[in-house]
Structure 1
Amino acid sequence: MEYKGSSVYEHKDFFENYMKRRHRKESPNIVIELPALLNMMGNIENQRILDIGCGDASLGEMLLQNKGNTYTGVDGSESMCQKAKESLGNHPGCKILQSSIEDFDFETEVYDLVVSQLALHYIEDLQSAVNRIFSCLKQGGRFIFSVQHPLLTSSAKSMQSGGPRSDWIVDDYYHTGKRVEPWIGAHVVKYHRTMEDYFSILQQAGFKINGMSEARPLKENFDEEAEYERRMRIPLFLLFSCVK
């Protein structure tokens, strides 16, 4: 069975296993992607923030602690939204809404910052979503997001072996579109795009691209030299910083 969007998180065993992997100390999301994302965001004081595909809102906690004005998290998974509400508690200025990105009712010119962590590669019609993100930002507002690096989404062949990998297969890179990836015992649908595709989608929506990052690992974030060297072999993430 193939799972699209956030539907796979409604399965209890998958959800529990994912949360354990996602928040383990050595998770690439924590030691590689998050530092790159926070560096791109810089000062977010007094900004109205929309988090697309917010998951358990762990990013939202950080942003509110760093004086973000308001935080709205959106996720399609009921399980994730419940976890996010538990994490944020009664923090003033925050709300969690359950909706897929495709169906979310974006308001017009409301937010100073739209952020998304590793969610947009699950969307088939990304151009439509990015167009609506553009419309919900104030003039001068920023859109900062990360996706799985196209070198990884191009082919799931490297995922077949399981366990820590020392080699990666890049194949069918220019054949963009649907991919089915084995992940934590399930088969999850993602959509592969080239780096050029991401640039084109952002530009067609009207964004000015201020920066791009492949989240180069920082040695000081790793406890083990061997793991740092392994992560230096191939980029896992691709990030963009854009302005309206």
Structure 2
Amino acid sequence: MRQNIYDDPTFFEYYKELRSTGITFNDFVEQPALKALLPDLKGLTVLDMGCGFGKLASYMVEQGAAHVTGADISSKMLSIAPKLPEITYIHAPIEELNFEAESFDLIVSSLAFHYVADYDRLMAQIAKWLRSGGTLVFSTEHPITTAKLDMEGWVEDEHGERLHYAIDNYGEEGQRSTHWVVDNVIKYHRKVSTLVNGMIAHDLIVQHIDEPESIPEGLEKMPKLTQERRKPSFILFKAVKK
């Protein structure tokens, strides 16, 4: 069975409420950085892997994408995703998707690949599905964040002030278990070199890497986002198929 925390009733209600506020790390750090890496979307056929509530899929349609296929493991999230004629939703785990070769001009994924155990197979499939000259853009949790076996990195003083972020077990790749609203949320830690070399191995040419900080609006509405300069939460990649 693939992990599906997003259909857990407690987690889903929490996550839906959080994202509805529009005041999150996604809104002010990850999504602005991801959108900045997207190519001109006019006329493109797109695959959104881990599309969630469909907000990014809708955005890409608004920017001129001809068609977006959105895939997600969560039936609850897909049930409230925008229903547009240019979007087709698939209820399936990322690992079980199957498409014809050279089906897409762009493949995009927002904070989903750290849930996938077999990264090399994932990159092989993406390279197969992309057309020549097609683009891959994805974000994932930064390896600094996922490195420690307990995924608890901030060291605080007696007043709860954050002193520094501790990194350990960086070279020990593999499964991590953490508490995020619910217990035993499984993620996979990979070194930056593994993320990059996994693309190179499948003829994906890395064009850009970003470790984003907050946009100005985020610093006003979420002052704690200043910590992104001390320790990045996300890393993003843009690559093109030969």
Shared fold (TM-score greater than 0.5)? yes
Amino acid at match of 2:184: H
SS at match of 2:94: coil
Matched, 1:213 2:210: yes
Equivalent residue for 1:158, pick from 153, 157, 173: 153
TM score, norm. by length of structure 1: 0.90
Indicate the residue corresponding to 1:33 in structure 2.
Answer: 30
Indicate the residue corresponding to 1:181 in structure 2.
Answer: 178
Indicate the residue corresponding to 2:124 in structure 1.
Answer: 131
Matched, 1:122 2:132: no
Per-residue deviation, residues 68-109 of structure 1 (Å, max 9, x unmatched): 11011001122122122xxx22x2221100111111112210
**Quick one: distance in 2 between partners of 1:191 and 1:177?**
5
SS at match of 2:194: helix
Per-residue deviation, residues 134-160 of structure 1 (Å, max 9, x unmatched): 111111000000000000011212389
Equivalent residue for 1:103, pick from 83, 96, 105: 96
Per-residue deviation, residues 37-86 of structure 1 (Å, max 9, x unmatched): 011004211110100011111111111111111011001122122122xx
Identity across aligned pairs (percent)? 28
Amino acid at match of 1:69: A
Matched, 1:142 2:142: no
Amino acid at match of 1:114: I
Number of residue equivalences: 235
SS at match of 1:210: strand
Indicate the residue corresponding to 1:73 in structure 2.
Answer: 70
Amino acid at match of 1:132: Q
TM score, norm. by length of structure 2: 0.90
Indicate the residue corresponding to 2:235 in structure 1.
Answer: 238
Shift of 1:220: 4.0
Shift of 1:223: 1.8
Q: Is the 8 A contact 1:76 1:98 kept in 2?
A: yes
Indicate the residue corresponding to 1:57 in structure 2.
Answer: 54
Change in Cα spacing, 1:225 to 1:180, as seen in structure 2 (3 Å) is closer
